Every structure is written in C-alpha cells, then in structure tokens.
Structure 1
Amino acid sequence: MRPPEHWHLRRRRSNRHWWAIGAGGALVFIVILVAVCSSGGGDDAPPTSVVAPATACPADGCGLSQGAEEPPPAVLITGRSAAILEASCGALLYGQRERERLPPASLTKIMTAIVAAEHADLTRVVEVDVNSALLVISTDSTVMGLAPGQQMSLVDLIHGLLLVSGNDAAVEIAEEVGGTVARFVDLMNLKATELGLQDTHYSNAHGLDDAELYTSAYDIALTGLELLENPLLAPIVAKKRYTANWSGPELWNGNELLGLYPGIVGVKIGFTEGAKQTIVAAAERGERRLIVSVLGSNARYSDAMTLLDWAWLNTEPACDESGLLGGIE
C-alpha cells in the first residue's frame, strides 16, 4: 500500500521495522490474489451474457428494455446452456454458454423433419421396413410402433417423429428420403451449413448419444425457428395429439409445455443419459414470438418457462420491420 503524501518517512526507523511492514504487505497481497483467483469463475460458474447478434439489432443493447442502464441479472436455470431468440429475425436476446457444443438428444429430430420436408413429398405413401420391436431391444429407443409391411404416408411418419419422438420413424424417414441413413445424415449436415450453424454436426437421424453428434443452444434454437418457418411442419409441433391414417394407436405429443404455458406453439423435447433433458420451445404474446432452448437440463419445462418469463419482462422486440433472419449470417 502506498503511504499518504502527508506521511513523511523518518530515516531513523530501523531496517527491521521496514522489513516487517514489507512482509505484512506481501502477505496481504497474497491473500487478495488467492481470493481473486478462487472466485474467478471456473468452468462450473455459468457465464451469462446478453448478446448482440450479427445483424438486425441496435448497437446499444439488443433486446434490452428501453432506458436500461445495464444488462439484467443472470437467469437462474438448471440447464448447462440456453438461448433466447426473437423469432421474427433470429436475433439473440440472451445466452448462457449458448455456443457450447453439447449433445441434443431427440432435438436432432427437428433437423430430420426439416430435411425430409425439403427433399420429399410428405403425402407419399411408403412401405415400412423398420421393426420397432427390434429397435427397442437393441437401443432402448422411444418408438411410434412401426412394423415391417405397414403402409403409411411420410406425413404420418413425421407426426410419429415429432410428437412421440419415435426413433423408428427417424430411421424409416432417413432410409426413404435419403436412400440410406448415411446419405440422409449428409443432407442434415448440408442443411446445417446452409443455415450457418457453426457448432452443429449430425451423425444420426434420431439423436441417440454419439461423440460426433452435437449442437449448441444457439444453433438448435435457430433450427427450431427454421422448422416453424415451414408451413407443413409448424402445425404438427403445435398439436397435442394426432390420429394417423394407419392401424396403430393415436399419437400424443410428449411436449408437456403445450397447454402448460400460455402461448406455446411447439417445438420439441429430448432426453438421453448423456444429453440429460433438452428442449426447444416457442411462445407467442400478441404479435411477438420468442424461441427458447435449453441443453443439459434437470428441469427443462421449468427452465423454459423461467427463460420466457424473463424475456417477456426484460426485453422488447429487437427486430426491424423487414423481418430479416438476423441471427443467421
């Protein structure tokens, strides 16, 4: 510590006295240094940020309420990472580790549906090759209940994919649309590149854990937004149930947020041991729509509702009238 200017040092003080002062000062410095290092936000401390997207947002704080002098406090959730997007342009309003690469679980099926709708006529009737019973035995999968020889349309399979999260539907769609699962996965990765998803890679069509399957909260929120832009797919994820044109049971949507939170219009949930609970959800209030995503959660519905509540309270529409998808470069 530097002495005050009015404090005149006296030469007659002993060297021993100054050694004691110096040693004491060094000890204080070490204690402060240790305290700072120990509280410096390691990997377990959730970094939280209000992030301005690449385009379509003002430089003085994208999405913040007008007149706010500083970013609002962190949103407390159980998830490892999260993102909130302004749906009308894709602007990122809020993120927690939103660029971290994590397993998506069945959120993978969002891209599966997008690619299928882009490359095939969903009204086409196909003959099923996948055996759901064998898939359950071999992978402990959730299934819609397919059996070889069944006749159904691709749109029926898409409902089984998005509502009950059927891995059997994912495999059947991949084989029907791509010729092989591997070729279909290539189409998924091409679409991810087209959308500018920098932290996403697919290795299967269903979302079972794999080292080469990953996404980020930001990327998967954009993927959910892309699905909602599709007039064939958006109504599907908003349904609570679906009666298919086949001999199987009625399909119920596993997304419990529908009907639980006002204004929810989709999108998808997922779970694996490696990914934990995952969710992408969209909600509307008036003319405004928000997209939230959470990865690595212990309470996905609570996390999603917390993020939505925070966004309605603390942000204002961040997009201009052009409606450009500002979150995708």
Structure 2
Amino acid sequence: MRIGRLIGAVVVSLVVGASPAVAAQEPAVGAKAAYVVDSAGTVHLGKRETKRLPVASLVKVMTAYVVLQEGRMSDTVTIGATDVRYAARGGAATAGLRAGERLTTRDLLYALMLPSGADAANALARHYGPGKTAFIAKMNRAARALGLSDTRYTNADGMPTPANGGYSTAADQVKLARLALESSVFATVVGSTSHKVGKTKVHRAHTWRNTNKLLTRADDVLGVKTGYTNAARYCLLFAGERNGLQVVGVLLGDQDERRFSTAEKLLDYAGEQVAFG
C-alpha cells in the first residue's frame, strides 16, 4: 500500500538520522468544485464547496438512502413500461431492465448504483413513494433532516429537468456519502465492481458493472458514485481508507478520465496529511 510504504520510509529516515520525507503538495484540481474530508473531521481540500451545482447521477445516492430507510432488501419490485421508456427517451444510463421483470430491492440497488440505471431509479421511486412525486418529496425531506441545506431534488435519477432543476454542493454531497456509507448494505453495493443476477421465472439474467473506475485503480477504495450530464459535466463521489481513517471526497464539473486520476491523488494526499499530522 502507498501509505504503508510512506510511513515506513519516514520511520527509517528518522532511525538512521536522515531528513524525513516531506509531505506532498496539494494536488491540482481542475473540477469546478471539490471537497475532501476524513472521518476525524479534517478538511483536506475545499474548492467552491458551497456553490450550488447540478450533480447528475450523484442524485442516486439519495435515492438509495431513502430506499434503505423505506424498504426491506427482500421486497420485490415490478419493472414498469414507463420505467423503461423514461430511461430510453431521456438518453439516460440504464440497467437493461424490461417491463414485467420482478427483482428484489437489493438487486435493484445494484442496478441503480453500478451501471447507474435510470430505469432502476424510477422503478424504486414508484414503488417506495408510492409514486415518483411522493418519493421526490421524501428525498427532499431527508435532505432537510440531514442538514443538506443547499440541496434540492427534482427526480430520483439526476437527469436534467426543463425547469426548476435540482442542485447540490460539494460539501453536501460529501456529508450525504459519509452518512450513506454507515449502511453496510450501501457500502457493499457501491464497493462492488460487478453484480450478477441469474435468470429466474420472474426476471432475465443481468450482469451489472460499476462505472467507478477508481475501484480498480487505487488501493482501499470504498466507492461511491459517478455522474454525467451536459450541464453537470463529469462528477465523482469517492471514498477510501487511508491510514486508519475513512476519506470521502467529491469532484463536480470535471473531465472524464481526469476525475479518477485526481481522486486517486486526493485520497493519497489526505492519507499523507494524516500520517504527517
């Protein structure tokens, strides 16, 4: 592990009387907004973290949070034709669901968070509202209850709406992710690189792969969620373990590949700051 090697180098240098390693400089961040904090409450980076911006599919973190409060993982949800049409018509990412399929809530959370399925988001919102309007109201009530004062939801999937669009901030997104990760179910889902569902009488076989490339590019990554729309550009909510602490960060309005490389640098930077005190 990078942090382990770093700490070892510092210890050796102190023992032999050499000059200790110098803490790394703060990585350059090209995203419109960013925020990184660890579980001890130390803020390692802030850039326009209170600026209200669209967050694309990071919205689905709140969708999952509400579902986890409302339902049981063994619940069965029927996919409707409207769920499939909505995702296809809007050009959203889908989980390849078909009308009439019945899947457990647990499996639909994977469909929601790994391939970022708007079809799964709408099916869950309809089921647990009941109805999408009621579900969105629950999302906004949850945001207020959690102290996300600069967050407003207008749908369960993060796709742009013609008017009165939703928004959040980097600081609010990090706060929500830290709370969501307290759920072992959520943490297991967002930390998975893929999830397979075998064919049964009530649904076909599915294989969903996580769009979060950071899971396979950096050490000890916990998740969390990617996002993209034309308005929000590329977004990444990320978390990892560094030097015994959980580090959670977000990049809003970034470039596609750059968000992953920047997130990796920010995780290591936070770990190094912890190591050096």
Q: What TM bracket, shorter-length normalisation?
A: 0.7 to 0.9
- Per-residue deviation at 1:317? 9.5
Structure 2 contact 34–250 (Cα < 8 Å) conserved: yes
Structure 1 contact 161–167 (Cα < 8 Å) conserved: yes
Matching residue of 1:313:
272
The 5-angstrom pairing of residues 114-193 of structure 1 reads 114-131=65-82, 133-193=84-144
Q: How many residues align?
A: 246
Q: Normalized per residue, which structure has more helix?
A: 2
1:78 paired residue among 13, 18, 30: 30
Q: 1:255 to 1:140 in 2, by over 3 A?
A: same
Q: Distance in 1 between matches of 2:55 and 2:123?
A: 20
- Per-residue deviation at 1:244? 1.9
C-alpha distance after superposition, 1:190-242 (max 9, x if no partner): 11111111211111000012343111111101111111101221101111111
- Per-residue deviation at 1:134? 2.3
SS of corresponding position for 2:165: coil
Which 5+ residue runs of structure 1 have no aligned equivalent? 1-71, 319-329
Structure 2 contact 242–270 (Cα < 8 Å) conserved: no
Matching residue of 2:8:
none
Q: Distance in 2 between matches of 1:187 and 1:132?
A: 19
Structure 1 contact 269–279 (Cα < 8 Å) conserved: yes
The 5-angstrom pairing of residues 171-250 of structure 1 reads 171-210=122-161, 211-245=164-198, 246-250=203-207
Is the aligned partner of 1:263 residue 2:223?
no
**TM-score, normalised by the number of residues in structure 1:** 0.71
Q: 1:261 to 1:227 in 2, by over 3 A?
A: same
- Per-residue deviation at 1:254? 1.0
Q: 1:121 to 1:83 in 2, by over 3 A?
A: same
C-alpha distance after superposition, 1:146-186 (max 9, x if no partner): 22211111111111000110000000000000111111011
The residue type equivalent to 1:226 in the other structure is L
Q: 1:126 to 1:227 in 2, by over 3 A?
A: same
Q: Distance in 2 between matches of 1:100 and 1:75?
A: 20
Q: Distance in 2 between matches of 1:317 and 1:150?
A: 53
Structure 2 contact 83–123 (Cα < 8 Å) conserved: no
SS of corresponding position for 2:185: coil
- Per-residue deviation at 1:310? 2.1
C-alpha root-mean-square deviation of aligned residues, in Å?
1.9
The residue type equivalent to 2:266 in the other structure is L
Matching residue of 1:34:
none
**TM-score, normalised by the number of residues in structure 2:** 0.83
The residue type equivalent to 1:167 in the other structure is A
Matching residue of 2:12:
none
Q: Distance in 1 between matches of 2:92 and 2:167?
A: 19
Matching residue of 1:111:
62
Which 5+ residue runs of structure 2 have no aligned equivalent? 1-23
- Per-residue deviation at 1:131? 4.9
Structure 2 contact 243–274 (Cα < 8 Å) conserved: no
The residue type equivalent to 1:301 in the other structure is F
Q: Distance in 1 between matches of 2:152 and 2:49?
A: 16
Question: Could you say which structure has the larger radius of gyration?
Answer: 1
- Per-residue deviation at 1:79? 0.4
